[in-house]
Amino acid sequence: MGSQWGYDKTYIRAKQEGYRSRAAYKLLEIQKKFAIIRPDDNIVDLGAAPGSWLQVERTLTDARVVGIDLNPIAGLEGVETIEGDLNDPEVLEQVKSLIDVASVVLCDAAPKLSGHKSYDQARIIELNEQALSFACKVLKLGGNFAVKSFQGTDFPELYAMTKKHFYSVKTCITRSTRKGSTELYIVAKNFNG
């Protein structure tokens, strides 16, 4: 029977335009609305496989782009990738050896969903907290952060935690998000250290 979502218009468009997944349009929309990436920004992308956000990032900056994922990421020209866990201190050291400081940290990662709403919500919030912690270790002052999350009972706490580290924090539901999904993005600008 295949995917529960099937091949909708956005999926087909992504394949026709050469993107590795529909997620590319989510980043393009976030960028259009919030301008979180500037042409000279070093970017670290957490949970970057299969690489559609890396494809977009490469077109938005002339600086370094580093993608991290537990799974291998097929090569992309002008993009450096690290296969590993964002919680591993060695991965953090690898990132710091590639770029002195990051201007932008992005995370479109999600755990494999079990179908149990409260369990999945807790797992995504834990992943979001790990991404925020990583961002706080590599971002320069004034840097930007965006992370995919899911609406639920634990979300307000994550949102409040993010507000402690950034001057501007907003949420965004992209048009490319599948109907019925509780997915949304936290877009945080101007890291305050």
C-alpha distances in angstroms, 45 versus 9, 10, 39, 152, 156? 26, 22, 16, 24, 24
H helices of 17-116, in order, are 23-34, 52-60, 89-98
Active-site residue, selected from the candidate residues 32, 148, 163, 170: 148
**9 catalytic per annotation:** no
Say which residue the tokens 């450096």 belong to: 80
**Distance between CA atoms of 92 and 55, rounded to whole angstroms?**
22
**Distance between CA atoms of 153 and 77, rounded to whole angstroms?**
41
Residues labelled catalytic: 148
